Amino acid sequence: MSKKSWRGAPWGAPRGDHPAIEACGLVKAYGENRALDGIDLTVRRGQVFGFLGPNGAGKTTTIRILATLTRPDGGTARVLGHDVRTEADTIRARVAVTGQFASLDEDLTGYENLQILGR
């Protein structure tokens, strides 16, 4: 992703509420390939936000950083007010991420599948 900033209007979030997600100058490189180049992002609590873009645009890298699965090379990011570098355990206790193709066990009920995925 090139250097861009998204700031959508809060949807159902009270004014003055801290953002659910904040990123400032987020950078991540894989060798010579700079996947993220100074991303600024703010998502307010209660706001619906979607990542759209072509393959290789940095969508998954951004989500992996916000979910504390990948460390950023530069910039800062906070999820629910917690720093992704120093408070990863706190973020992981509050946030869940699933891939594009979630696999379900067809022999289990929906509730049983959720119990397994939630572990």
Distance separating alpha carbons of residues 22 and 48, to the nearest angstrom: 14
Tokens of 106: 């067809």
Each domain of the chain, given as residue ranges in start order, spans 5-117
User: Which CATH code fits 5-117?
Assistant: 3.40.50.300
| pLDDT tens, position by position, 40-62 | 999 999 999 998 999 999 999 99
pLDDT digits (tens, 9 = 90+) for 61-116: 999 999 999 999 999 999 999 999 999 999 998 988 877 666 777 788 888 878 77
Secondary structure in 3-state letters for 11-49: CCCCCCCCEEEEEEEEEEEECCEEEEEEEEEEEECCCCC
Tens digit of pLDDT for each residue in 26-44?
999 999 999 999 999 999 9
Give pTM, 2 decimals. 0.73
With bands split at pLDDT 50, 70 and 90, how would you rate the model's confidence at 7? low
Rounded Cα–Cα distance for residues 8 and 21 (Å): 12
